[in-house]
């Protein structure tokens, strides 16, 4: 059974446009809880992971993805109402790397009581100081958020204070025949994949695994949500879904990144956080090949996944990724055919009795 192109786009658009910065994933987890409750027993943990038991009997298998997205944070507000920012990660460079570029994007400030619109701004060429004109590279304080306020009091009255999160906030759009671009494909496209696969599997009823779904929090901050999954349920096997690195754009080296968009999901054998199960990875490749599902293989550097947190607690793990361009940017791009193929691979895997 296949899912129609428009329903793949619709669920990805819905999930990616939700605000879910690290530590404030509530709207995403609310969506997940509501959607998964239609076919599974769902509960939320103390740290706000969502766990869902779909059914079946056999080894306990979890399909896992993360709800959070990368973000910036409010560090201070100026007397004249501008908001100064730091990034979500512990910054050791003291300045933004050249691939982090929020400028001239819509911004959404997420406060405990709601959201506030703004823009990521910097002084433009007409008004920049002579010193800045000749400077190379950015400093964090070159960027700020303008929400149209004129004073600190006005900003604070909206519930904005140090610690509030800021995300870039583009619409999710289609490009060409197959491509979808927007924010938070990392990792909402994975939640879309898990959801679509589980909805098909729940209808079948006689699964050879006890199938669970997991939506974690705070992956981008160091796999913190995934770290407590093993305390909630004992998982025998886990397939973790996340964005895949591709080398099919200018500026990359195909010797390092041989995977491409449109050629199917990748089974990842290793990244900076773990060595994934050889047996489970090979089984995924075998099932894909037998079912005629396109599949790629990869190893990554400068990349980690939630699966490693489960490995440390005794779960056999695999990492499956869908090719994604421009990762950790407001224009993360995926290919609908890869999303479809990843749903097909999960479905094929779960219906084949464990060997
Ligand atoms: Zn991710």
Instruction: Cis check for the bond before 46: say yes or no (omega within 30 of 0).
Output: no
> Using one digit for the tens of pLDDT, what is the confidence trace for 160-176?
999 999 999 999 999 99
CB 65 within 8 A of CB 242: yes
Span from the CA of 220 to the centroid of ligand 1 (angstroms): 7
Averaged pLDDT of the chain? 95
Span from the CA of 79 to the centroid of ligand 1 (angstroms): 37
Q: What share of the chain in percent tops pLDDT 90?
A: 88
> Using one digit for the tens of pLDDT, what is the confidence trace for 180-217?
999 999 999 999 999 999 999 999 979 999 999 999 99
Superfamily of the domain at 5-69+183-351: Zn peptidases (3.40.630.10)
Q: Is the pLDDT of residue 134 over 90?
A: no
User: Residue 1's pLDDT is what?
Assistant: 47
**72-168 shares the fold of 5-69+183-351:** no
Where are the domains positioned within the chain? Answer: 5-69+183-351, 72-168
User: Residue 5's pLDDT is what?
Assistant: 63
Span from the CA of 127 to the centroid of ligand 1 (angstroms): 38
Q: Which CATH number fits domain 72-168: 2.40.30.10, 2.40.30.40, 2.60.40.10, 1.10.10.410?
A: 2.40.30.40
User: Residue 4's pLDDT is what?
Assistant: 67
Span from the CA of 245 to the centroid of ligand 1 (angstroms): 11
Span from the CA of 219 to the centroid of ligand 1 (angstroms): 7
d(Cα 244, Cα 7) in Å, to the nearest integer?
Answer: 22
Helix (H), strand (E) at residue 226: none
Q: What share of the chain in percent tops pLDDT 70?
A: 99
DSSP 170: P
Span from the CA of 29 to the centroid of ligand 1 (angstroms): 16
d(Cα 200, Cα 214) in Å, to the nearest integer?
Answer: 17
> Using one digit for the tens of pLDDT, what is the confidence trace for 285-332?
999 999 999 999 999 999 999 999 999 999 999 999 999 999 999 999
């Amino acid at each position: 059974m296949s899912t129609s192109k428009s329903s793949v786009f619709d669920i990805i658009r819905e999930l990616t446009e939700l605000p879910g910065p690290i530590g404030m994933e509530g709207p995403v987890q609310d969506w997940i809880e509501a959607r998964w409750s239609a076919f599974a027993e769902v509960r939320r943990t103390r740290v706000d992971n969502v766990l869902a038991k779909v059914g079946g009997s056999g080894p306990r298998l979890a399909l896992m993805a993360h709800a959070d997205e990368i973000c910036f944070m409010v560090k201070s507000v100026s007397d004249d109402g501008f908001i100064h920012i730091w990034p979500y990660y512990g910054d050791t460079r003291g300045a933004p790397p050249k691939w982090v570029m929020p400028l001239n994007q819509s911004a959404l400030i997420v406060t405990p009581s709601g959201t506030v619109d703004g823009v990521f701004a910097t002084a433009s060429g007409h008004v920049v100081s002579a010193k800045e004109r000749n400077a190379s590279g950015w400093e964090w304080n070159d960027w700020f958020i303008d929400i149209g306020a004129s004073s600190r009091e006005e900003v604070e009255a909206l519930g904005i204070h140090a610690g509030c999160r800021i995300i870039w906030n583009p619409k999710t759009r289609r490009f060409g025949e197959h491509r979808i671009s927007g924010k938070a494909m990392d990792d909402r496209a994975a939640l879309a994949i898990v959801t679509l696969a589980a909805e098909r599997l729940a209808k079948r009823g006689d699964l050879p695994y006890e199938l669970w779904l997991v939506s974690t929090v705070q992956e981008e901050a160091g796999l913190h949500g995934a770290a407590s999954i093993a305390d909630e349920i004992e998982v025998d096997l886990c397939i973790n879904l996340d964005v895949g690195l591709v080398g099919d754009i200018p500026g990359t080296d195909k010797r390092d990144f041989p995977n491409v968009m449109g050629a199917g999901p990748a089974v990842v054998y290793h990244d900076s956080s773990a060595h994934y199960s050889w047996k489970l990875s090979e089984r995924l490749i075998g099932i894909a090949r037998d079912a005629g599902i396109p599949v790629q293989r990869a190893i990554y550097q400068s990349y980690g996944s939630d699966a490693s947190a489960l490995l440390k607690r005794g779960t056999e793990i695999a990492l499956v990724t869908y090719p994604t361009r421009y990762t950790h940017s407001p224009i993360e791009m995926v290919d609908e055919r890869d999303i479809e193929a990843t749903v097909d691979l999960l479905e094929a895997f779960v219906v084949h009795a464990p060997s």
